[in-house]
Amino acid sequence: MFRTWRQKITMTDIMVWIIGLSIAVVVIWGTISTLQSGKYSAASWFDLVIKGLALGGVYALIAMGYTLVYGILRMINFAHSEVFMSGPFTAVFLANALQSNGFLSRQPLLGMLAITLLSMAVSMSVAILVERVAYRPLRNAPRLVPLITAIGASFFLQYTFRGFYGSGFEAYPTIEALNGYWRIGAIPLFKTQAVVIIAAVVMMFLLYAIVMWSKLGKAMRAVSEDKEAAALMGIDVDAIIVFTFALGGAAAGAGGILYILQFPVVHFYMGFIPGLKAFTAAVLGGIGNVPGAFLGAMVLGLLESVGPNLFLDGLGIPVASQLKDAIAFIILVFILIFRPSGILGERLSQTKV
Amino acid sequence: MQNQYTDWKQALRSGLLGGAITVLLSLIGIVTAFSNTYIVNKVISFGELLIVGPIAALSLVAIQKARARHPGLLILTAIISGLTSGLVILALAGLGQVINLRAMFLNASNDLYAIYAYKQALVPGLLLRLLVSGLVGALVAGFTLLPGRIKAAISQGLLYVILVGLMGRLIGTVLNTWGFVAILFKWMFVANSLSPIGAIFLFLLTGGLAYWRYGRPKTKQITDPKKQKLVRWGTLGGFGLLLIFLPNILGMWFSEILDNVGLFILMGLGLNIVVGFAGLLDLGYVAFYAIGAYTIGVLTSPELGFFNLTFWQAFPIALIMAFLAGVLLGLPILKMRGDYLAIVTLGFGEIIRILVLSDWLKPWLGGTQGIQRIQRPVVGIGEFSITLQSQQQLYYLILAGIVLVAFVAVRLRDSRLGRTWMALREDEDVAVAMGINHVATKLTAFAMGALFSGIGGTLFAAKIGSIYPSSFQFLVSINILSLIIVGGMGSIPGVFVGALALMGLPELMREFAEYRYLFYGAALVAMMLTKPEGLWPEARHRLEFHEEETPPPEESEAVPESA
Amino acid sequence: MDNILVSKKVTKRFGGLEALGKVDLELKKGAIQSIIGPNGAGKTTFFNCVTGFYTPEEGEILFNGRNITGMSPDRVTHLGISRTYQNIRLFKNMTAIENILVGMHPHLKSWLIGAIIRDPRTVHEEAEALKEAYRLLEYVGLKGRGDMLAKNLPYGEQRRLEIARALASRPKLLLLDEPTAGMNPSETQDMVHFIQRLRDELGITILIIEHQMRVVMSISEKITVLDFGRKIAEGTAKEIQTNPTVIEAYLGRGAASGLGETAAKG
Ligand SMILES: Nc1ncnc2c1ncn2[C@@H]1O[C@H](COP(=O)(O)OP(=O)(O)OP(=O)(O)O)[C@@H](O)[C@H]1O
Ligand SMILES: [Mg+2]
């Protein structure tokens, strides 16, 4: 056994392990010195954790789009970040209209529902449109082709929405009902964050239920197993693919509203970074795997929120939170190197010869 | 009955789609933005073309999809399609009168409706629009019924009028510096666009040419190898001379553009090795560009004052840094599947940008303030040395860089290494089973790409003299990728064509600059859908992407086509 | 030491499925041997284990006495094993000659610097390689087809080109996975002669997976029969034809194959 192991190992692996180990050492070092310094209280750690979970909830909903589409078409829908952007960027106009006629403060629940539904509808339509125009004609093309198309579609959408609504920032109105916090013992829990986490969990569960137990969901899984076989069994593969995009789009639209509850400003470029993070989350959990996406997103949200303070602060890095995105991307790089199947994903079987 | 019913539906659907596209373009804002960019002065603007174009294109689709063959029915189909499009446009204008669309869509303005209505009073103007839409359909239908030869003549004539009209500004600027030619052509151009007479002249000229050439064999092939060689060297030499004198011919303003385009050509050649030759989609190409530029900056800027090297002392160090970064990043990730690789490289690019921006590294890299007063390169010895400072001087440095990189790229393509890359791109498993070490092979491509990107970065630093993190965004990677794709993946001349088309044109036509990325996005999608091999494909790729269309073996010896 | 390839108790599993179970096989130097078995018996999987595509969970594979279990495919090729594929896997968009040149990879040296500066050694090496590639092309009967894209060649020629590519690495052991699949009787006959020529003229040891019984019986000195990943019989053509277990394996599942008839007649 040792022999075969020896034969498989290469210079590359050694290099990678050395890099990985040194990063691990830095992280542990940083963590220990942060904790020793006692700069942060338990309450502030709690605060960061909640913040991270709320962020994770948003990533989870966006990650659904990547995971579902990847499961079925084995392609990264690069334009999904724009699917995510389109919903909240459009719904801001409804939100402002509802705010200015006072509806939002009179009926915050109904108002938010309307805004969320609009956001979901727009994101869903954009997702379906992208599939129809950019991906469907390329089902059997070489791998790089749909990926490049997706990048093109992503830019086209960004600048289309920029053309529609302008290149400036649009602010969402604040929802008075969500201002302030509840108290758990001595620790304050912000209402927005609590609502976001609960909503994300509920929606993720709904999505899971749809994928696992609904008829369409079952057909979806059949298609992702084997397209030809599914078609032979009388499943309309095209319709299922559209449904997949629609579901992912709707989730992203909903995620968009949870996002603006935390960062109430929208603009045409807002999809890029969350999209990339959500993709990271999907990969972290095991792309193609719904619970995996949720788990991955939560872990990523936590790391991003707690990480800079925990790992980097102790090393004396100023304004460590500037590096939070870098943490996310480094995680992405290392997962793809060490465990491309993600936390919950099964290993892709060896290539068939 | 059934046939006609589906034709009806098809016509309606095409019409709706055509109208939708026009409305989309209007709401994005390009119709308004180009409403004063005339193709033919005061007669037809580019904005108008953007309204009419989709309508015409979709009525063409309606005709092509129609089952009916009777000319009258075809014309009717096209008219219905055109009218439907017109109605969609009217609907937008009407809606705009009832509710304030502008609260949401910036461009749903009265200006737009005025353009729709030909700047007339709204109601009669819009009716005119409807009429014109139907007429466009009818004209398209009439066009399709013409004999092939006339069709070819008309389409070529129109194409040239549109192209020349669009580039009127550019042509005007060049002509103005060339007095005697300007006198010749003055009557053709008015205020940066074609004059009506000029347009008719051009249309007749190019259309007539197409009419005359139709059905004739293409220009004779030179078969004598000696002559062939002579012609090749002749064109190369002429082209070289032209390149050398280009900045003097075109002047200051153009030199700046030339430099920018040149930098992108240089980087495109490098990325082409990675993406085109080896098939590795690298979306973090900008990272190495940044590494090259920042190394030069840190080493030479007296403002930071760490090393105070000269440009040429720092240059090799910068290249080594870029190359090493390529190797270090490449080693672990090149085992990954293609799409994962794309995302990881993208992530790497972002990491570099975030680090450069951070306060943490600010003492060394300058943070948001960037690095100023980077040393310019000095060439020559002793008394005869000059500091390359103006855009015209730097042009030669960039040109030299391009020549070097292009040379290396050509050599690599035609070598064992090039073959190995191609084999890996085609079928990785089998290539490995042929004894190819895939990590080492890909790494070579990746690191060469990184090196060239690094060269681009150093030249960029030399050209600008100061660098800021904002110059190293993800968009740069996308720019370069787009130009490779548009030119033709793996094609070296394609890089030049792509760079001229995607970098040059937007610089020349400032109105376009605003919609640059919209255009890039659309170009990438359209290219992949219709012409994945690019504008100037490498000979082999021409065959690669169109499997069904490859001729059977017997006919593959190319015979000059004669239709 | 006249066995060029020895496999000892090689086992390969895919999830719950045991594609190969404790397969022992010995291949004499200079022999032509065959592996047969019904569909899904594990024949191709065995090839994949030998060439390093798969790592067997248990067992050992020795090549010229050297343990190559789990070695990466490129290193296995460097040692002198090369193969063809059941479903032809040429580099479709490369020309026939380029396909062969890629096959020569293990014997060429030029790399980055050589490619750029084109020193005399590189130029010489490339010229020699090209010459040899044309020679190989002619050897497999594809003279004049060098500049055609592989995908434009007719089916039979693609099979030959794949063999030429495999030969280009100058293997000591050649593994052919169903070289006559999809060929008509006369093409099959040509291929059989060609394979014998390879052994006789080049002295290469050959292991064939084959479905057509006539082919197997006519050229192999020894035949190994796999079924459900297990070796169920081994011996000369005669012995196999009359082996009841083999007949059972083929007929029991009703697999339409020449073996039933041949065996019944024999
Ligand atoms: N990569 C893989 N993943 C999962 N199962 C596999 C894989 N490769 C082969 N198998 C399975 O292993 C078994 C043996 O397959 P193999 O291809 O070796 O059969 P074979 O004898 O070559 O059959 P055939 O005559 O059809 O070529 C089959 O059941 C096949 O489905
Ligand atoms: Mg097989």
Max avg pLDDT among A34-48, B314-328, B521-535: B314-328
Q: Which residue has the higher pLDDT, B332 or B465?
A: B465
Query: Which is the closest atom of ligand 1 to the Cα of C229?
Result: 14
Q: Report the pLDDT value the prediction gives residue B446, as an integer from 0 to 100.
A: 93
How far is ligand 1, taken at its centre, from the CA of residue C247, in Å?
21
User: Measured between CA atoms, how close is A183 to chain B, in angstroms?
Assistant: 35
Q: Going by CA atoms, what residue is nearest to atom 26 of ligand 1?
A: C39
pLDDT of residue A314: 75
Q: Has residue B233 got a pLDDT over 80? A: yes
Residues 6+ apart with CB under 8 A from C41: C226, C227, C228, C229
Q: Is A333 on the interface with B (CB under 8 A)?
A: yes
| Two tokens, residue C31 | 């022999």
CA distance B167 to B160: 10
| C-alpha–C-alpha distance, residues B78 and B61, integer Å | 9
Which is the closest atom of ligand 1 to the Cα of C48? 18
Neighbors of chain A with 3 or more C-beta pairs under 8 Å: B, C
Model pLDDT, residue B558: 38
**CA-based nearest residue to A238, from A127, A154, A132:** A132
Residues B261 and B113 in one domain: no
CB-CB neighbours of B339 under 10 Å: 19
| Residue B433 belongs to some domain of the structure | yes
* Token pair for A28: 């542990």
Reduce the DSSP state of residue A181 to 3 states and report it. Answer: strand
Final residue belonging to a domain, choices B145, B162, B187: B145
B400 & B516 share domain: yes
Q: Which of C14, C69, C85 sits opposite A4 (nearest CB)?
A: C69
CB contact under 8 A, C55 and A349: no
Cβ-count burial A165-175 (b if 16+ within 10 Å, e if not) = beeeebebbeb
Average pLDDT over residues B179-199: 77
Note which residues in 91-110 of chain C have CB less than 8 A from chain A. Answer: none
Interatomic CA distance for residues B339 and B281, integer angstroms: 7
Contact residues on chain C for A353, CB-CB shorter than 8 A: 44, 48, 53, 85
Instruction: Give mean pLDDT, residues B401-420.
Output: 91
* Residue C10 contacts residue C59 (beta carbons within 8 Å): yes
> Is residue B225 a part of any domain in this protein?
no
Domain's final residue, options B110, B145, B180: B145
Alpha-carbon Rg of chain C, whole angstroms? 19
Lowest mean pLDDT among B188-192, B319-323, B350-354, C163-167: B188-192
Q: What is the mean pLDDT of the segment spanning C15-20?
A: 88
Q: CB distance C67–A3 less than 8 Å?
A: yes
Q: Residue range B10-28: average pLDDT?
A: 92
Which residue among B128, B145, B162 closes a domain?
A: B145
Q: Residue B386 burial (CB < 10 Å; 0-12/13-18/19+)? A: exposed
Residuewise pLDDT in 10s, chain A (353 residues):
455 555 556 677 787 788 888 888 888 888 888 888 877 777 788 888 989 999 999 999 999 999 999 888 888 888 999 999 999 999 999 999 999 888 888 888 898 999 999 999 999 999 999 999 989 998 888 777 888 899 899 999 999 999 999 888 989 998 877 888 888 777 788 888 888 999 999 999 999 999 888 889 888 888 888 888 888 888 888 899 999 999 999 999 999 999 999 999 999 999 999 998 998 888 888 888 888 889 999 999 998 988 888 888 777 777 778 888 888 888 878 877 777 777 776 544 333 33
Q: pLDDT tens digits, residue range C117-173?
A: 888 898 999 999 999 999 999 998 888 888 888 988 998 899 999 999 999 999 999
B471 in a domain, yes or no?
yes
Q: From the CB of residue A263, how many other CB atoms can be counted at a distance below 10 Å?
A: 13
pLDDT tens by residue, B533-543: 888 877 654 44
| B345 to chain A: closest CA residue | A333
Check pocket membership of C84 for ligand 1, CB cut-off 6 A: no
Q: Which residue of C has its CA nearest to B541?
A: C93
Contact partners, residue A305, CB within 8 Å, separation at least 6: A48, A49, A51, A52, A55, A324
The pLDDT score that the predictor gives to residue B85 is 94
Among A337-341, B98-102, B154-158, C49-53, whose mean pLDDT is lowest?
A: A337-341
CB contact residues (below 8 A), chain A span 31-60, against chain B: none
Model confidence pLDDT, tens digit, residues B480-518: 988 898 888 888 989 998 898 888 777 766 667 788 888
Query: Which chain A residues are within 8 Å of B521, Cβ to Cβ?
Result: 151-159
In terms of residue numbers, what domain contains B491?
Answer: 252-545
Ligand 1 atom closest to the Cα of residue C47 is 18
Ligand 1 close to Cβ of residue C165 (< 6 A)? no
Q: Is residue B138 part of a domain?
A: yes
Number of C-beta neighbours around residue C24 at 10 A: 13
Please give, rounded to a whole number of angstroms, the shortest distance from the CA of B434 to a CA of chain A: 14
- Residue B173 in any domain: the answer is no
Which residue, C80, C30, C28, is CA-closest to C50?
C80
Of chain B, the percentage scoring pLDDT greater than 70 comes to: 90
Say if ligand 1 is within 6 A of residue C23 CB. no
Report yes or no: B21 and B54 within 8 Å, Cβ to Cβ. yes
Q: Which amino acid residue places its CA nearest to atom 28 of ligand 1? A: C40
Q: Are residues B314 and B449 in the same domain?
A: yes
Name the residue with the closest Cα to ligand 1, atom 17. C44
Q: Decide: A45 and C109 in contact? Cβ < 8 Å.
A: no
The CA distance from C190 to A210, in Å, is: 58
Q: Ligand 1 mean position to C198 CA, how many Å?
A: 28
CB within 8 Å: B433 and C105: no
Mutate to test the pocket of ligand 1, among C14, C51, C176, C228 (most ligand atoms within 8 A of CB): C14
Q: What is the DSSP letter of A314?
A: G
Residue B92 belongs to some domain of the structure = yes
| Alpha helical stretches, state H, chain A | 2-8, 11-37, 42-73, 80-100, 103-106, 108-130, 144-165, 191-213, 215-225, 227-232, 237-262, 272-285, 290-307, 324-338
Is the beta carbon of C212 within 6 A of some atom in ligand 1?
Answer: no
Cα B451 to chain centroid, rounded: 24
pLDDT at B60: 92
Query: CB distance from C111 to chain B under 8 Å?
Result: yes
Please indicate if any CB of chain B lies within 8 Å of the CB of C103: yes
Instruction: Answer whether B436 sits within 8 Å of C116, measured CB to CB.
Output: no
C108 touches chain B (CB under 8 A): yes
Contact residues, chain B, for A153 at CB < 8 Å:
521, 524-525
Residue B87 in any domain: the answer is yes
What does the alpha-carbon distance between residue A336 and residue A338 come to, in Å, rounded to a whole number? 6
Whole-angstrom distance, CA of residue A92 vs CA of residue A259: 12
Residue B213 lies in a domain: no
Query: For the residues B3-17, what does the mean pLDDT come to?
Result: 83
> ipTM value of the model?
0.89
Query: Which pLDDT score, from 0 to 100, does residue A317 have?
Result: 79
Residues of B in contact with C73 (CB under 8 A): 429, 432-433
Closest atom of ligand 1 to A351 CA is 1
Picking from B415, B426, B432, the nearest residue to C74 by CB comes out as: B432
CA-nearest of A50, A161, A177 to A113 is A177
Number of domains composing chain B: 2
Mean pLDDT in residue range B115-128: 91
Q: How many residues does chain C have?
A: 266
Whether residues B359 and B506 share a domain: the answer is yes
With CB atoms and an 8 Å threshold, state whether B436 touches C154. no
Any chain C CB within 8 A of the CB of B354?
no
CB spacing of B520 vs A157 below 8 angstroms: no
Nearest CA among C104, C167, C159 for reference residue C130: C104
> How far, in Å, CA of A209 to CA of B180, rounded?
77
CATH code, domain with B362: 1.10.3470
Q: Radius of gyration of chain B from Cα atoms?
A: 27
For residue C44, the CA-to-ligand 1 centroid distance in Å is: 7
pLDDT at B547 over 70: no
